[in-house]
Amino acid sequence: MKFLTRYLWFETDTRRAYVNITGEVEKAVADSGVAEGMVLVSAMHITAGVYVNDAESGLIRDIDDWLERLAPYGDYRHHLTGEDNGDAHLKSILVHHQVIVPVTAGRLDLGPWQQIYYAEFDGMRRKRVIVKVMGE
């Protein structure tokens, strides 16, 4: 079995951002030499997430609006610790922190519109994502 581990680093200019990382994940799969297997893509921070969806700008804004309605920036008990990112923790739970994508014939086996996104909810500081390719 082959394995490849790669880290992607992000430091967004805004508090919330959605970054298409499909190309970077595809490169990791190609570099791994894995023909059949899977790739785990996981945010290594509790105020970020990873998801698969369409790369359409209106949808990305809809996702952001929906998350802001469900977990608006505001006052949370978590802020009693000196933090101001209670909403980011909740948004991360809604999006989830990782995805597993199949690898078939040496390529990501995504549907026709599917793309992999890094979702940042407490940005403007350095964070990372792990990409772990596994297979034969």
Per residue in 58-90, pLDDT (tens digit) is 999 999 999 999 999 999 999 999 999 999 999
CB contact burial 90-109 (16+ within 10 A = b; e otherwise): bbbeebebebebebeeeebe
Examine residue 79 and state whether it is found in any structural domain, yes or no: no
What residues make up the domain containing 115? 2-73+84-135
Distance CA 93, CA 128 (A): 17
Check the CA dihedral 23-25-125-50 and report its sign. Answer: positive
- Indicate the pTM of the whole model: 0.97
Q: Which amino acid is at 66?
A: W
Give me the number of domains the chain comprises: 1
Per residue in 13-71, pLDDT (tens digit) is 999 999 999 999 999 999 999 999 999 999 999 999 999 999 999 999 999 999 999 99
Per residue in 89-131, pLDDT (tens digit) is 999 999 999 999 999 999 999 999 999 999 999 999 999 999 9
Give which of 98, 96, 97, 103 is closest to 4, Cα–Cα: 103
Examine residue 78 and state whether it is found in any structural domain, yes or no: no
